[in-house]
Structure 1
Amino acid sequence: MFLTKISVGLCLVLAAVHIQRSQAAVEQLEHLPDELQKYLDTLHTTGDLTEQSGRLLFWASINQFISKFVESGPELLPEQETYLRECLEDAIYPVFMYGSNVTHYGERVKRQAGPARRVRREIRTMTVNERFRYFNAVNRMKTDTSLPPNVYDFLAAYHTGENIGRAHFGPAFPSWHRLYLWIYEYFLRLQDPTVTVPFWASVLDDAMPDSAQTVLFTPGFFGNPDGVIRTGPFGNWPQINPQTSFSRNVRGGELFTYAGVERVLRRRRNADILIPTAQADSNFELQHGAGHVFVSGDMNNLNRAARDPIFFSHHSFVDQIWQRFRNNQRRSGINPQTDYPFDANDPRFRPQHSPSATAGFTGLGGAETWTQSLGYINAFDNLVFYEDVPECPSCGNSPYLYCSFTMGRCVSRSRNDMRGRPDVQRFTPPGGRVARQATQDSSWGVCQKWTLFNDVDTKWMQRSYLPPGSPMYTWAYIPVKVVIKRPPEYHGFEQYSLYNQVSHAPYSYKDELYRGGSQKRCERCFDHLDTVGKITIVSRGLNYGGCADESVLLDNRLPVSEGKVAVPVKMPLGSESSEVILAAFDPCGRACKPLFKKASYDGTVTDSKFSGGIKVTYSQPEQFSHSYSEAYLNMWDVHSPSSCPTQNDHDTMVTFYCDYTDPWIWEPTQGSQIWSEFETTQEGVGYQA
């Protein structure tokens, strides 16, 4: 017995030593980068995870941080500089000439009778010819080399790098994108003066049983929903960097909702709907983020989002909503032009969003004087007219919509509904031949495909950070365990549920398995839950420009279920480490709690809550793998030819526990600069914990 106790104690000590040593390969970051922490803390001041979607909070914050990882574009030649300057001056001329109370480079201009207002309508209410004319004009921009490398990609590059900080996370969010749409539409109309940017009213798709099946992701609209875009008007588009691809990974989930839009429209001040002072239930920018996350792929990374033409239709709808908001302001006696919310004494407001700060459309000449408040002026209201979102019973007489009398709302038809229509199955340029498609959309089969799991090829994601001559292996694969508690909203197989059961003392800490979480879920959470639960793990580089999304499938019927997944991060090179943040979310947008394995030399091994930040090094023993196959083989032990495989958790340092009980996850870590600021300004509004 004495020898047995010695053996057991020795094993525990060796296990603890193994975990401590292995932290040299996968370590917990002491704290998140201060810049990222400030973004998270700013959103925390507007509401916690019981009031706002954890998925969208994280998305908005991390996209601000990773905007620094941007690819550089080609330089302008002298003749291109002249062309751009003349175009931008011509584009802004109607705003200054035909608006009211507008100053043109320091000179007040009287309002005059101007051109007819441009009419923007929902893309499904356009005629086939109107829709294809628009697509054709976009394609002409892609082949027009008046600006390098072409007009479309040159304009897309405006929505990258430092301009992400100007366009997002502040009161200039709607105004910057309004100005951006105007510039984009100007160049579009150089190709075809009859076209305008149609808006994508995603409320029509959110109302579908499965919004991922919308007719919009067909060859006759925006092309295939998953992978590299091969079908439709933008199929096989070349990219600036030949190592990257223009891709999507459309997933089920929330988009703009009727209820969410109504909450925004009930407000009367921009301060109530815009970061950093937005009310938790009507944060306009976070609501818009749902569309980016839904389309995913390039759209999920703001540095790359404008490469997908659906970006401009998405933001046309954002602008349509903001125009309705501004119309409501006028009815309430508020001048929208002067309602720019900025407080220089509030540390949550960043200088880039000062009304006098540059909007960042630096293309020579007058564009360098365009300020963030320019998009607020009333002139745009006189130049652009938005049609209403289609309503029942006619739904704009669109064959791609139908009236749901149970909801009293118009709903988009699915790909399966429209599979017999030639104008949906293929893109035909106006007056031209049917465009050849590289592949056939798989949705035209006999049975409708209900997507549960979209396998993501992470190899396309931002490989440009690796210079020529880099090692063969560019990704390291980290094992991550996921444990979920049965979602309270799932009502199948009630006999397996522990909810509403009576707690008994002998179970001690297991009592928490009887309690449901309180985190905010998306409004149609019930529609996104099934027997098979899907948890999405996101990996975002903190010192490199890489990203990856992975998923693990679990059993929602059981009180507790667990699974494992291999998450890609950049392979560390030599003495250089890879720093990354990991986060996990369920289909309802709720955040899972990240835990890191720690051990002491007395043999105690515990999982401690942390922010999700890790550092990966090439120290021994390695706790990562060089391929998916190696990663999954390392998750299992087989001790003999006849033995049953057993799980190997020795090198699984990160676990996500999805119980949805934490009101916040990304608190400042003691010892960081943000923590010091918090300690000295606990009564301030800037970084409340």
Structure 2
Amino acid sequence: MILKAFGVKWLLLCIVVCLPGVFSRIKNMPLTPQLETCYKRFSNVSLNRVPGTFITWHCESSISLSKIPFRLPKSEHHYLNGLNRRIMEKSKNNRGKRQATRCVRKEYRMLTTQERNDFHRAVNGMKQNTIVRPNVYDALAMLHSEMQILKAHGGPCFLGWHRVFMLMFEMALGDEVPGVCLPYWDSSLDNELENPAQSYMFSSELMGNGDGAITSGPFAGWRRPSDPNNPNSRPSPVLRNVGADGQLYSRESIEMILSRSDTSEIIAPNSDPDYDIEVHHGGIHIYIGGDMEALVTSPFDPFFFLHHGFVDYLWELFRIKLRNQLNIDPQTNYPMNHNIEFHSRDELMDIANFTCGAGYSDLLMETVEYEASPSCTQQRPTCDSPYLRCQLNTGRCIPITLQETPLPMNPGSGPVTNPPPVGPGLPPPVGPGLPPPVGPGLPPPTGPGLPPPVDQCAHIEQERHNVKPCQNSYCVNGICDINQWVYVPVKVVTIRPPEYNRYNSFPIINGDVSMTNDIYNPSGYSRTKKIIQGRLGKTPKGYTHCFEDGIGQIFVQSQGLNYEGFYKESSVIDQRLATTMSIAYVAVKNPGRGVTRALFRASDSCGRVCHTSCKNPRTGKFEPCSGLIELDSRYPRMFSKNYGDATLDIWDYGNGNGMGNECPMFNDDKFFLTFYCDYQDHLPWVDKMSAPPMMPRMGPKPQPPPSFHTQQCRVSPTCVLNTPCFSASLQCRFYGETHQCAGACGHYAVCNYGHYKEKICIGGTVFSETMNRCTSTPCGGQVGDGLPSWHVFANAGANYMKSLGSRMLSGSAGASAGASIFGGKR
């Protein structure tokens, strides 16, 4: 019996050793229901239309909620509730008052020096104000980082939730420095640069450096809040990895969003990602990187509030279009036909008593107005900012770079008229105040306000700096220490990028150089063309500033599922080759005596996602898998305690004394996960084209807009232009194009993102059509072609706004939510 028992033990031991799959030390897990649902929403979307990382970030950024360390103590919520009560009171007091005081939100670089200094002082004041724990700034940021994430993202509540959040932040700013308003950051201006990371926005004079910890600018030395459960732990500095990954807004993407005609077309769940305002906003979170890349930490960087100020501005432009062009009340245009948890119209935001539907109320905008994004014209080639210069061919204001000094201020007080015609065959405009002409045979223009001459060798410098590092915080559940992490090796297999046309190394055939294909191009050989090129579908879309120069970068990352922590690294690849392999080491939380669960993902530097494959423990083959990995500390361990050990665990250097001459041996047994970057045009974790068809929109039926003469363009109820709209979807094309409103002496409209924005001359003065600017002449009497005077238009506008508030509180579809906030009964 003893021998028999002994034999059974040996048999069991043999099973454990010979069949590692029985007691797996690392294994793949199925997709969580939340991820699977989100992925399926996009499974019928071809990734040749939108960068894949926009979609994956949208779905994955809020998956870790069980271990969020930044939870505001309940005792501190009374401060936040107080902010909301004051927002309600101010909104009600402002309602319908023509001369009500409003915060004018400007593009950050359009602030005066005093306004900018006051804003910086107010933000730092919030960080130092400890009337609530840990301080006012972090208390607000922690509100975003709680379970609110599920209500604030992934559905139609996203827009209203962040609108209320911005109002709360703005109220707190004013408490520190009276009169300070929240500026916004129009990142599409920076996107016009060849390298947006070189924008002066990241200078010490403005928002500070973008590489690693913030060490310059008004927020130098900022840190996250301490973990309340470990108050003596030293928190991580606020981090950025600007320009390593992601993409800023492009003017094309903004115009696409604003071209839609119903809120359900720009927000989940029935929106197309090409037009989804939340999907596109994620690209900026990724672009700033560091703390901004993870939702639970993003508000700890002040960039968060400037970015979301711009998101709110775009939404307001969309709401203006709904009302003024389509006769749709944006308050009632809340997407209803969906089953997204926490995003129903009557769902409480948990910010005081606001509901998601109430976040769409016009009353929230009674205290705020937006100044249009800066633009310029040929006749006014300045942007009224030392940090912006005029891009003459578009009328856009683009930033100066870090290599330049701020421009001398030139208010450009001369006449402002519509731009003269420009184009092929037309002479360049010349005259006082205009920049010198450019063209073949002409010397490049130089001088203040003009970009520096183009360096013909600039691409060499760009290639040299193509590979960018990632600075990680090494935080696990609020404790920031590299010793809490372990390293998991992964393989990265890539094929040659589809758009990498050729590498200038050509075969010689029969004594002549054949330049059809370089020697590495798989299209040049029948077998590789069939097997490798045959795998490709439609070429996935990359970032605006994506380029291939032979050196590629694959970003690999882990995101905790049962812990709060995020890690990002990259491997460098040779883009010349038909297929290449590299190794990356991805850090995750040390499992200790428990288990670590994490989501592993990879994408290239153009935002094109990679597939995940896991090793089958029985067959040894790599098979498609979810990329959700669970590992523990049982032997043989599939991780290493630090990067150095991870390297030596993969490359066996023999006796370990460093004195041997033998070549290192490659240990393939340490790999469980492989990323395949083969440029597929659909998400790899759900079946392609399996998503159900888009559900029909429910809600108020749009009424046809009032008809106007074909030579007139309707901007608002108080502004009609004696010029036709550009098209049915776009009112105008040239940024800064300006026209007077017919019969309204002090009203005029300026083109911004394809739509006119109405403006009014201060003090009831006349807008001059010939001078294209406000004058010192007061308005009065009948003007123009018999249309009502400016005063009549102004009164009509005030009455119109009053009626909106009355309708909302007395029986419109938004009445119950609005009344609960602004003093009514539900």
TM-score range, shorter chain: 0.7 to 0.9
1:141 Cα deviation from its structure 2 partner? 1.1
For residue 54 of structure 1, report the CA deviation from its aligned partner.
1.9
- Which residue pairs with 1:299 in the alignment? 292
Listed one character per residue, the Cα deviations across residues 644-672 of structure 1 (whole Å, up to 9, x for unaligned) are 33432221121111111252212289xxx
Q: Does 1:359 align with 2:349?
A: yes
Output the amino acid matched with 1:645: P
Equivalent residue in structure 2 for 1:247, among 220, 226, 239: 239
Q: Which segment drifts farther, 161-170 or 512-521?
A: 512-521
Q: Which digits, 9 at most, give the CA deviation of each residue in 1:308-347, with x for residues without a partner?
A: 111000001001111111111112111111100122xx43
Q: Tell me the amino acid that sits aligned with residue 494 of structure 2.
A: I
Contact conserved, 1:57 with 1:286, CA < 8 A, in 2? yes
* Aligned equivalent of 1:384, options 321, 346, 368: 368
CA RMSD across the alignment: 3.2
Q: Is the aligned partner of 1:220 residue 2:240?
A: no
CA positional deviation for 1:72: 4.5
Given that residues 106 and 372 in structure 2 are in contact (C-alpha distance below 8 angstroms), is that contact kept between their aligned partners in structure 1? yes
Match of 2:616 among 590, 598, 601: 598
Post-superposition offset of 1:481: 0.9
Mapping of 1:58-97 within 5 angstroms? 58-73=56-71, 75=73, 84-97=80-93
Q: Which residue of 2 aligns with 1:411?
A: 398
- Matched-pair contact (CA < 8 Å) for 1:498–1:514: no
Query: Aligned ranges for residues 253-292 of structure 1 at < 5 Å?
Result: 253-292=246-285
TM-superposed deviation, 1:48 = 4.6
Q: Is the 8 A contact 1:535 1:585 kept in 2?
A: yes
**2 CA distance for matches of 1:407 and 1:555?**
38
Secondary structure, counterpart of 2:84 in structure 1: helix
Deviation by residue 1:465-511 (Cα, 9 ceiling, x = unmatched): 669xx9x942111111111111122235155476683653xx38962
Q: In 2, distance between residues paired with 1:60 and 1:500?
A: 34
- With over 3 angstroms needed to count, the CA separation of the structure-2 counterparts of 1:96 and 1:448, relative to structure 1, is farther
Q: 1:608 to 1:418 in 2, by over 3 A?
A: farther
Amino acid at match of 2:354: W
1:462 aligns with 2:475: yes
Measured in 2, the distance between the counterparts of 1:315 and 1:415 equals 24
Partner SS, residue 162 of structure 1 = coil
Partner SS, residue 44 of structure 1: coil
Q: Given the superposition, is the C-alpha separation of residues 323 and 546 from structure 1 closer, same or farther in structure 2, using an over 3 Å criterion? A: same
| Structure 1 residues not aligned, in runs of 5+ | 1-13, 100-110, 362-366, 422-446, 670-677
Give the superposition deviation at 1:113: 4.6
Letter matched to residue 497 of structure 2 = P
Tell me the secondary structure at the aligned position of residue 571 of structure 2.
Answer: strand
Counterpart residue identity of residue 277, structure 1: N
**1:567 and 1:339 mapped to 2: Cα distance?**
44
Q: Distance in 1 between matches of 2:239 and 2:375?
A: 32
CA distance in 2, matches of 1:36, 1:373: 25
Change (3 A) 1:396 1:478: same
SS at match of 1:535: strand
Which one of 133, 138, 141 corresponds to residue 126 of structure 2? 141
Q: Does 1:332 align with 2:326?
A: yes
Partner residue of 1:613 out of 628, 632, 636: 628
Deviation at 1:448, TM superposition (A): 8.4
Offset of residue 50 of structure 1: 4.1
Which residue, 579, 594, 600 being the options, matches 2:597? 579
Displacement after TM superposition at 1:211 (Å): 1.3
CA contact (8 A) 1:227 1:249 kept: yes
Written as runs of structure 1 = structure 2, the 5 A alignment for 1:153-172 is 153-172=138-157
List gaps (5 residues or longer) in structure 2: 1-13, 227-233, 409-459, 505-516, 697-826
Give 1:167's aligned amino acid.
A
Identity percentage of aligned residues: 30
Q: 1:483 aligns with which of 462, 481, 493?
A: 493
2:279 maps to a residue whose letter is L
| SS, match of residue 158 in structure 1 | helix
| Alpha-carbon displacement from aligned partner over 1:387-429 (angstroms, at most 9, x marks no partner) | 22222443522222223346664322221223899xxxxxxxx
1:610 maps to amino acid = C
Contact 2:615 / 2:623 at 8 angstroms: preserved in 1? yes
* Shift in Å, 1:264: 0.3
Which whole-Å CA distance do the structure 1 matches of 2:681 and 2:629 have between them?
20
Q: Is the 8 A contact 1:63 1:301 kept in 2?
A: yes
Q: CA separation in 1, counterparts of 2:184 and 2:382?
A: 15
2:544 alignment partner in structure 1: 524
Please say which of residues 539-548 and 223-232 is displaced more in the overlay.
Answer: 223-232
Q: Residues 166 and 309 of structure 2 are in contact (CA less than 8 Å); yes or no, is this contact kept in structure 1?
A: yes
Contact 1:497 1:558 in 2 (8 A): no
Q: Residues 488 and 499 of structure 1 are in contact (CA less than 8 Å); yes or no, is this contact kept in structure 2? A: no
TM-score (norm 1): 0.81
Q: Which aligned pairs between 1:103-142 and structure 2 lie closer than 5 A? A: 111-113=96-98, 115-142=100-127
Asked if 1 retains the 8 angstrom alpha-carbon contact of 2:540 and 2:681, the reply is no
Is residue 503–residue 514 contact of structure 1 (8 Å, CA) maintained in 2?
no
Q: What is the Cα deviation at residue 135 of structure 1?
A: 0.5
Change (3 A) 1:161 1:668: farther
**2:358 aligned residue (374, 377, 394):** 374
Q: Is this contact kept in 2: 1:392–1:403, CA < 8 A?
A: yes
One-letter amino acid of the structure 1 residue matched with residue 563 of structure 2: Y
Residue 200 of structure 1 corresponds to which residue in structure 2?
Answer: 185
Partner Cα distance (2:500, 2:217) in 1:
37
The whole-number CA distance in structure 1 between the counterparts of 2:305 and 2:265 is: 25
Between structures 1 and 2, the one with greater helix share:
1
SS of 2:280 mapped into structure 1: helix
Conserved in 2, the CA contact under 8 Å of 1:199 and 1:314? Answer: yes
The 1:607/1:81 distance shift into structure 2, 3 A limit, reads closer
How far residue 519 of structure 1 moved from its aligned partner, in angstroms, is 5.2
- Residues 597 and 513 (structure 1), Cα distance of their counterparts in 2 relative to 1, 3 Å cut: farther
Q: Is the 8 A contact 2:522 2:529 kept in 1?
A: no
- 1:237 alignment partner, SS class: coil
Question: Is 1:402 paired with 2:424?
Answer: no
Aligned with 2:606 (options 588, 593, 605): 588
- Residue of structure 2 equivalent to 1:568: 587
Give 1:152 shift.
0.9
Q: Which residue number in structure 2 is paired with residue 642 of structure 1?
A: 661
Return the structure number with greater relative CO, CA threshold 8 A, min gap 6. Answer: 1
The CA deviation at 1:177 is 0.8
Structure 1 contact 573–618 (Cα < 8 Å) conserved? yes
Of the candidates 646, 649, 669, which is equivalent to residue 631 of structure 1? 646
Residue 185 of structure 1: how far off its partner (Å): 0.3
Write the distance in 1 (CA, Å) between the matches of 2:623 and 2:402. Answer: 46
Cα distance in 1 for partners of 2:318, 2:681 equals 34
Q: Which residue of 2 aligns with 1:37?
A: 36
Residue of structure 1 equivalent to 2:173: 188
Match of 2:467 among 453, 456, 473: 453
Shift of 1:194: 2.2
Secondary structure of the residue that 1:501 maps to in structure 2? helix
1:162, distance to aligned residue in structure 2 (A): 1.6
Q: CA 1:580 to 1:48, structure 2 compared with 1: closer, same or farther past 3 Å?
A: farther
